[in-house]
Each structure stands twice: as structure tokens, then as C-alpha cells.
């Protein structure tokens, strides 16, 4: 086990130990030291202050400290490189000041601590500092591979069908809405064919399969009837969601960890037909790992609790959960989408997360479209994605 992580932090900020271990392992690999061990200790400001006071006679907390093991030139005899100690309280404050999510900033601290373990020291001289920062930059660039384009916007047109079904006639037609959304810049159309057919009808998805020019994403519960329809239809992808008859809208993420065998089979059937599968999950490490295990191509991170937050503090907390989950899923090799409850105020922050490929948005855009027209409503959301 090359990275030994001890988490003594019990404060309010969510930590994803698996993600930090992955990052530390990547750093070891980049340095050609994957056969060495590294100890990583996470704690709070008072504990960091105590260590700083005891070992460096500085009576204050700091962001990161490194303590090499043994002599600098004796790595071969000492497979344990040393300890990197990080204060999460200070890291979170600095992350916020730098406009970074906590886990992205922790990566920069990890790299900084690691380079210190190698014997570099920016406090020795300007030349040493230049050399150390250049090495850190090269490690960070190699580790933080990210999306280079803007986030994609996929439009959910279910609400257009809901309005039509309210009268049981033929308008408004979600097929027309999908075409307008594509012309306005959406790069995907999402439709949820529910078992009770409360909004989208079989006729809608059959026409959309022929008319959608970008990408048709069929959202569905994993029931046999809908699975057969999906296999026959051949959408560009499917998103599996939990579906309850009594709910107004999808209420939570799929419990992938609790039904791995079933989902594995469904995904295998879709894969045979070349239909990539996305799993709609809460921002939760266990669900991400399970999604990877069952063979999903994508996860869609549920942003509902973030969108429904009633205070800035709660919104920040939910945002950090999403940011860490997106990063963890991305690092594990999954492609990452996000959606639910996103609107013109809260979507920008999610769109700016560089590990997220696509946002799936419906209600807020249709609500605005009533007053501004659908074309305008989609364009405004495309702009939010573009400038995030
Ligand atoms: N993603 C999933 C999986 C959904 O179930 C929904 C709602 O249909 C959305 C995204 C879009 O949510 P909203 O309509 O709140 O934008």
C-alpha cells in the first residue's frame, strides 16, 4: 500500500479519502517512485498548530508540512518517503480565496508537500524556489487533465409533454421543442419515458429517435418493459434513474451499491446494443465505486439537494459534495454529467467544475420559455455554460 492515509479531521468539510489516495499515487507514479510509501495525515488547525509549534517552533497553524524519512540520498534503503501533513481548515480557507474546490486545492498542497519530501526547498534561495515551483507545475499539469471544452447543455423536454398531457391533445409537441432547443445550441435532448406515461409517450420517443440531430438520452427506470423499448429504440445513451409512481419528479439517486447484480445485467444488455449507460446517483463515494464496478460509462450526479438548499452555508456544503464526487468519478475513469433542479442562478457554479461534461436541465428552462420563448431561454443557459 504505497499511500497510508490517516484522517484525523472531523470538521465540517467533506473529504473524499479515496480521491486523495488516487492523487497521491499519481504523484508517486509521475516521480517514478511507485515502489515507495508515503504517509498522509489530515487534521484540523489546532492539531496542525501543535505540530508546527513542537517541531518548527512556530506557534500557528499552516496549510502543509512535510517530514522526510531518513536521508535525502537514501531513498532506496527507505521505501517510506515520509509524512505529508495537511490542515483541512487552512486548506479550505485558501481554496476559497483561490476560487478552487477543496479537493483541487488539496492536490496542489499534496504536490507541494511531496516536492519538499524530495528535498526541494523554496525558502533556500530564489533559484531553489524557481526549480521547486517549476517541478510542482509540471506535476500538477500532468495530474490535472481536464475537459478543455465548455460544458455541454442537454435539454429535458418532458415538461412540454406534461403540458400537452394536461389537455390530452397534440400540443405543445415535445418534438418541436427538441428541434428549437437544438437550433438554440443544446447538444443533447433528454426524455424520461415513465412507466405510467405521464408525460412522454412512445410516439414521442419514436419520432425523436428519427429527428434529434445531436444526441438522444433516454432517461428510464430499469424495468423490463422500458428496457425492451430502449433496446429496440437504440437511443444515443440511456440514463437509469429510480422511479416511483407517486413522485412529482425523480427524488433521489439510484442505489447502485444495493443492486449491483441487477444493474450489471441491464448494462450488459445495453452494451451489447452499443448503448452507453449513465447512472443517476447522489454525490456519494460508495455509489461512484459501485457504478464503476457495474460497468457504467457515465454517472449523472444528482444536484437536487444543492439546488434546494435554503441557506448559503447549506448550498456551499452540497456544492463541495458534488465537486468531490465529480472529481472522484472522473478520476476513476467514469464520464460525469450532472443535473436536477439547476436554474439560471445556481447552474454556473456546477458548469465551472472541469470534470463535468454535461448538464441536464429541464424545468427552469421551460419555466423561462413561457415568458421569453424557448429559443431565448436555451440561449441564455448556453451562455451560462459557455462563460462558467
Ligand atoms: N436529470 C435527471 C436524472 C432527472 O430526472 C431530471 C428531471 O427530469 C433532470 C436531470 C432535470 O431536472 P430539472 O427538470 O429540475 O432541470
| pLDDT number for residue 282 | 97
Name the phi and psi angles at 61, rounded to 5.
-75, 160
Q: What is the pLDDT of residue 148?
A: 61
Burial of 333 (0-12, 13-18, 19+ CB in 10 A): exposed
196: CB partners within 8 A, 6+ apart: 245
Angle at alpha carbon of residue 99, lines to 96 and 103, rounded to 5°: 70
Cα-to-centroid distance, 218 and ligand 1 (Å): 12
User: How many angstroms does the Cα of residue 339 sit away from the middle of ligand 1?
Assistant: 6
What integer pLDDT is reported at residue 77 of this predicted model? 56
Distance 153 CA to ligand 1 centre (A): 12
Nearest atom within ligand 1 for CA of residue 239: 3
| Inter-CA distances, 323 with 277, 314, 326, 352, 381, Å | 22, 14, 5, 10, 20
Q: Output the residue whose Cα is nearest ligand 1's atom 3.
A: 280
Burial of 232 (0-12, 13-18, 19+ CB in 10 A): exposed
Q: Which of 261, 280, 386, 265 is nearest to 329 (CA)?
A: 280
Give, rounded to a whole angstrom, the gap between the first and last alpha carbons of the chain.
39
| Residue to mutate (ligand 1; options 152, 156, 192, 367; most atoms within 8 A of CB) | 156
The C-alpha atoms of residue 294 and residue 259 are separated, in whole angstroms, by: 10
Which pLDDT score is estimated for 251?
Answer: 76
Q: Is 168 left (phi over 0), alpha (psi -120 to 50) or beta?
A: left
**Side-chain-facing half-sphere of 279: CA atoms under 13 Å:** 30
pLDDT digit of tens for each residue in the chain (388 aa)? 689 999 999 988 888 888 899 889 989 999 999 889 999 999 999 999 999 999 999 999 999 999 998 655 555 555 889 999 999 999 999 998 988 888 889 999 999 999 999 999 888 888 888 999 999 999 998 887 666 678 999 999 999 999 999 999 999 999 999 999 999 999 999 999 999 999 999 999 999 999 999 999 999 999 999 999 999 999 999 999 998 767 777 778 999 999 999 999 999 999 999 999 999 999 999 999 999 999 999 999 999 999 999 999 999 899 989 999 998 999 889 999 999 999 999 999 999 998 999 999 999 999 999 999 999 999 999 999 988 8
Contact (Cβ atoms closer than 8 angstroms) between residue 151 and residue 358: yes
Residue 209 buriedness (CB in 10 A; 0-12 / 13-18 / 19+) = middle
Domains of the chain (ranges, CATH numbers): 3-142 (3.40.390.30), 152-386 (3.20.20.70)
Nearest alpha-carbon partner for 3 in 51, 42, 45, 48 = 42
CA of 362 to the centre of ligand 1 (A): 6
pTM of the entire predicted model: 0.81
Q: What is the best residue among 157, 174, 339 to mutate for testing ligand 1's pocket, by most ligand atoms within 8 Å of CB?
A: 339
Residue with CA nearest ligand 1 atom 7: 340
> Distance from the CA of 329 to the center of ligand 1, in angstroms?
20
**Cβ < 6 A, ligand 1 pocket:** 156, 158, 192, 219, 239, 241, 249-250, 280, 300, 339-342, 360-364
Amino acid at each position: 500500500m504505497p499511500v497510508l492515509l490517516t484522517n484525523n479531521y472531523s470538521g465540517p468539510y467533506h473529504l473524499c479519502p479515496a480521491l486523495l489516495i488516487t492523487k497521491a499515487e499519481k504523484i508517486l507514479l509521475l516521480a517514478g517512485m511507485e515502489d515507495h510509501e508515503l504517509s498522509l495525515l489530515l487534521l484540523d488547525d489546532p492539531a496542525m498548530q501543535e505540530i508546527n509549534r513542537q517541531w518548527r517552533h512556530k506557534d500557528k497553524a499552516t496549510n502543509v508540512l512535510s517530514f522526510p524519512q531518513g536521508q535525502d540520498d537514501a531513498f532506496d534503503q527507505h521505501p517510506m518517503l515520509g509524512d505529508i501533513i495537511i490542515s483541512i481548515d487552512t486548506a479550505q480557507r485558501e481554496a476559497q480565496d483561490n476560487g478552487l474546490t477543496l479537493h483541487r486545492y488539496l492536490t496542489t498542497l499534496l504536490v507541494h508537500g511531496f516536492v519538499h519530501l524530495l528535498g526541494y526547498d523554496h525558502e533556500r534561495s530564489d533559484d531553489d524556489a524557481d526549480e521547486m515551483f517549476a517541478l510542482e507545475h509540471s506535476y500538477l499539469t500532468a495530474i490535472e487533465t481536464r475537459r478543455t471544452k465548455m460544458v455541454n447543455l442537454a435539454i429535458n423536454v418532458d415538461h412540454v409533454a406534461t403540458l400537452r398531457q394536461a389537455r390530452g391533445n397534440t400540443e405543445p409537441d415535445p418534438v418541436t421543442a427538441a428541434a428549437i432547443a437544438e437550433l438554440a445550441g443544446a447538444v443533447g435532448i433528454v426524455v424520461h419515458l415513465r412507466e405510467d406515461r405521464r408525460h412522454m409517450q412512445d410516439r414521442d420517443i419514436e419520432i425523436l429517435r428519427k429527428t434529434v440531430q445531436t444526441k438522444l438520452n433516454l432517461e428510464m427506470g430499469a424495468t423490463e418493459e422500458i428496457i425492451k423499448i430502449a433496446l429496440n429504440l437504440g437511443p444515443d445513451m440511456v440514463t437509469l434513474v429510480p422511479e416511483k409512481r407517486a413522485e412529482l419528479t425523480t427524488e433521489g439517486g439510484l442505489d447502485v451499491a444495493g443492486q449491483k447484480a441487477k444493474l450489471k445485467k441491464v448494462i450488459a444488455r445495453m452494451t451489447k446494443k452499443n448503448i452507453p449507460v449513465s447512472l443517476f446517483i447522489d454525490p456519494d463515494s460508495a455509489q461512484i465505486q459501485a457504478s464503476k464496478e457495474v460497468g457504467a460509462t457515465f454517472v449523472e450526479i444528482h444536484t437536487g439537494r444543492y439546488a434546494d438548499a435554503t441557506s448559503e452555508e447549506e448550498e456551499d456544503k452540497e456544492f463541495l459534495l458534488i465537486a468531490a464526487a465529480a472529481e472522484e468519478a472522473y478520476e476513476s475513469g467514469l464520464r460525469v454529467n450532472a443535473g436536477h433542479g439547476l436554474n439560471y442562478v445556481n447552474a454556473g457554479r456546477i458548469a465551472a467544475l472541469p470534470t463535468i461534461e454535461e448538464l441536464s436541465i429541464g424545468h427552469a428552462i421551460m419555466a423561462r420559455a413561457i415568458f421569453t420563448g424557448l429559443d431565448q431561454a436555451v440561449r441564455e443557459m448556453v451562455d451560462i455554460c459557455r462563460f462558467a
